[in-house]
Structure 1
C-alpha cells in the first residue's frame, strides 16, 4: 500500500525480512541524521525484532525520488494494557525516535502522519515513549494538529564534558574525585588494576561477565534486574556483535589481580558516550568498581574531545555525583479518536 504526497511516497514494512532489506539504506539515513542515537541504528533494532518478535510490525518508510528520507519504525504494541502503536525498541531503549532527514523534516513527518491517519489501525491509538527533546515529533505544528498529549517521560542525567580533565573538577563534586582516587589506590594495594575494552576476541568473555555480575548485584537485593530473562540476554549478545563491528560498542572490563570484578556496557556515538548498563562483583564492593569504571569512561571522553557522557534513564544519586544534569524526554499519546479527527 502506497500513499503519495507531492514527490514523497510512504510504504509500510510488516516483517523482519523487509526490514533487513532496508538495512543499507537505513544505515545511510542514520548517518545523515545528526541527532540520531545508537538506539535507532539497524544494529540495535533488528536484533530487538528478531529476539522479542513483536507480532505486528508497522515500519513506515518515506522516499523522495526513490531515496529513503524517513523511517518510522513502529509496531502494534500488544504488551501494553491496550494495543497501541509504539516504536520498535520499546522497553530496552533509552531514546525512541524516528529517522527524519534534515532537508524537509516537516513534510516527511507530515507524510507519515497522513499515512497513519488514512490507515485503519488495529490499536487504540498512538503512544510514543522516551522521545528526545530534539525530535521533529515535538514540533508545535504536529502537536496541535494531531492533538497529541505530551507529558514528561523518564529523564536521562547527562554530564557535559569540559575540554580538559583538570576542568572536570569544576563540574564533578570534589568528593567524587576523592572517591575515585581512593578506590584506585585501595585496589592497587591488593593487586594489578587493569581497565580494558572488549575486542572481537574478548567480547564473549566480557558479555558473559556483564550478565553474571549484573545478576549477582541484583540477586543481593532480591530483585530480578533487567537481564534476568533469556530473551534480554540473547538480544544483547546479538546486538553487541553488530555494534562492535561498527565501532559503537565499548564494553569496559575492570580486573583486579586478573579477576574480572566489573563490566560497563557503553556505546560511543559521535560526540557522546552512553553508559547503558553495568555489573560488578558485590564481593569487591570495597574497591568501588562502578566508580572506577565511570571514571575511566569520563576520562576517555575528555581525551577524545567528546561533548557528553549520557547516563541514560534512571535518577540514581551516583549520576549526579559526577555532575550530571537531567535531559528530559517525553511521552506522546494520541487516542484513536484524536488521530481520526485530523482534517
Structure 2
C-alpha cells in the first residue's frame, strides 16, 4: 500500500444535514475535477435526492487526506423486492439514477492527481467496510475511470462476483470553428435537406428561434416543453417524460439552478405566435448537451424538431463549444447531425450468499429459455444499456 493511499481516510454520509454540509467542498472538487459531467454536479445530485430520495438511504462515500476532501462518490441503498415482497435485496446505486429520470455520465469526483489512490481506497472500503449491500448496480461509468479496475480487483479478492459491460453507443460530434465548416462536413443531400427545411420554416409568419434567458420566462417555457413532449410521445411510449410530479419538480428545479449560472440552454421554435418545438439542453465546460425535446405533431410538415436541432448546433458553435453531445438514446435523427459515438460502462456485483445464488439461477434460466433448439446455441441478449436505449430520450 502506498503512503498516500494509507493516508486517505474514508467516511460515509448518511443524512441530509451532512449531505448539505458537503456543498462547498463538492463545488470546489467539481470545478477542479478533470473527468466530471453536469450529472455529477452539486445541483443535479442534490436536487435529484430532494425529489427522488424518499425511501432510499444515503451512502455518499467521501475521501480525505490531511482533512481535505479529495474524492466524493455519491451512492444510496434501496430495497429491491420481487415475488410479491418475498424476495428482497439491498441494491447500492448511484445518486441520480432511479425513478423516471436518468443521467448519462456518473462515477466519482476526484481531486487532480488523486484519482488512482482514491479509487483504490474507495474500492477497498466498498469491499470490506461498507458491507450492507447485496447487489452493486452502477450505470454510465466513464470507461477510463480508475474506479472500474480498482473495484474489479478488490471484488475478486473478496469473492464478490462482478460483471462489466459496455453500454449502447452515445452519439456526439466534435464541432468545427464555424457553422459553414459544419455544413460542409455534411453530405450534399443532408446539407440540401437541412437548408430546404430551414428556408421553409423561415418563410412562415413570425418565424423565430428564442432562447429562454430569464427566470420570469422559465415556468411558462417549462410547461410548454412538457406539453410538447407529451404531444410528441403519447401513444408511442408507455411513460413519456414529464409524466410524474417528481420528474416535473426535479427538472424545473434543475433549470432554475442552471439558468442563473449560464448553463441552461432552453430553446424555442416559434411560428405564427405559437411555440411549436422546444429543446432542453445544458452546457458543461466546452460541451453542449442535448437532453430533452418536444414538438407539436400538428406542425410536422415543417420538421420543427429537426429544424430546431440544427439551430442548436449553430448556436453551440457560435458560443465556442467544442463538442455537441446527443446523450443516450439511439435514434436515427441524431445520426443526421453527427456520426461519432462513445460508450460508457455498467458494473454489477453480487456479494456471496442467497441473493447471488438466486440471480445466478435466474440468469441460467434466462439463458436456457433463450436457447434456439434448432441450432443448439443461445440467442444473443442485448446489453442492459441497449435494452433501455429506446426509451432513454422519452423518459430522461
Label 1:174 to 1:322 Cα distance change in 2 as closer, same or farther (>3 A): farther
- Tell me whether 199-208 or 174-183 shows the greater mean CA deviation: 174-183
Label 1:188 to 1:80 Cα distance change in 2 as closer, same or farther (>3 A): farther
In structure 2, stretches of 5+ residues that fail to align are 83-88, 157-161, 354-396
Show the counterpart of 2:68. 67
Q: Determine the C-alpha separation between the residues in 2 that align with 1:90 and 1:270.
A: 22
1:139-178 deviation line (CA, Å, top 9, x unaligned): x454334344210123211111122222213533433333
Show the counterpart of 2:266. 251
1:239-275 deviation line (CA, Å, top 9, x unaligned): 1111112221111111112211111010111111000
Show the counterpart of 2:376. none
Alignment pair present for 1:135 and 2:149: no
Which residue, out of 143, 149, 153, partners 1:144? Answer: 153
Larger Rg: 2
Label 1:308 to 1:222 Cα distance change in 2 as closer, same or farther (>3 A): closer
Task: Give 3-state SS (helix, strand or coil) of 2:299's partner.
Answer: helix
Q: Determine the C-alpha separation between the residues in 2 that align with 1:79 and 1:304.
A: 44
How far is 1:80 from its partner? 7.6
Label 1:180 to 1:313 Cα distance change in 2 as closer, same or farther (>3 A): same
How far is 1:5 from its partner? 5.4
- Tell me whether 117-126 or 58-67 shows the greater mean CA deviation: 117-126
Q: Confirm or deny: 8 A CA contact 1:160 1:324 kept in the other structure.
A: no
Q: Confirm or deny: 8 A CA contact 1:173 1:323 kept in the other structure.
A: no
Task: Give 3-state SS (helix, strand or coil) of 1:68's partner.
Answer: strand
- Tell me whether 68-77 or 141-150 shows the greater mean CA deviation: 141-150
Q: Determine the C-alpha separation between the residues in 1 that align with 2:188 and 2:72.
A: 44
Q: Determine the C-alpha separation between the residues in 2 that align with 1:171 and 1:146.
A: 46
Show the counterpart of 2:91. 84
Q: Determine the C-alpha separation between the residues in 2 that align with 1:83 and 1:288.
A: 46
Q: Determine the C-alpha separation between the residues in 1 that align with 2:80 and 2:43.
A: 23
How far is 1:118 from its partner? 2.8
**Within 5 Å, which residues of 2 pair with 1:133-172?**
133-138=143-148, 140-147=149-156, 148-172=162-186
Show the counterpart of 1:341. none
Q: Determine the C-alpha separation between the residues in 1 that align with 2:130 and 2:344.
A: 29
Show the counterpart of 1:24. 24
Q: Determine the C-alpha separation between the residues in 2 that align with 1:110 and 1:293.
A: 45
1:75-127 deviation line (CA, Å, top 9, x unaligned): 11335864321110114211121111221211111111222223253321312
- Tell me whether 142-151 or 304-313 shows the greater mean CA deviation: 142-151
What value does the CA root-mean-square deviation take over the aligned residues?
A: 2.0
How far is 1:288 from its partner? 1.2
**Within 5 Å, which residues of 2 pair with 1:281-320?**
281-320=296-335
**Within 5 Å, which residues of 2 pair with 1:247-286?**
247-286=262-301
- Tell me whether 26-35 or 293-302 shows the greater mean CA deviation: 293-302
Which residue, out of 151, 174, 197, partners 2:211? Answer: 197
Q: Confirm or deny: 8 A CA contact 2:142 2:344 kept in the other structure.
A: yes
Label 1:174 to 1:202 Cα distance change in 2 as closer, same or farther (>3 A): farther
TM-score, normalised to structure 1's length? 0.91
Alignment pair present for 1:107 and 2:117: yes
Q: Confirm or deny: 8 A CA contact 1:124 1:335 kept in the other structure.
A: yes
Q: Determine the C-alpha separation between the residues in 1 that align with 2:79 and 2:350.
A: 15
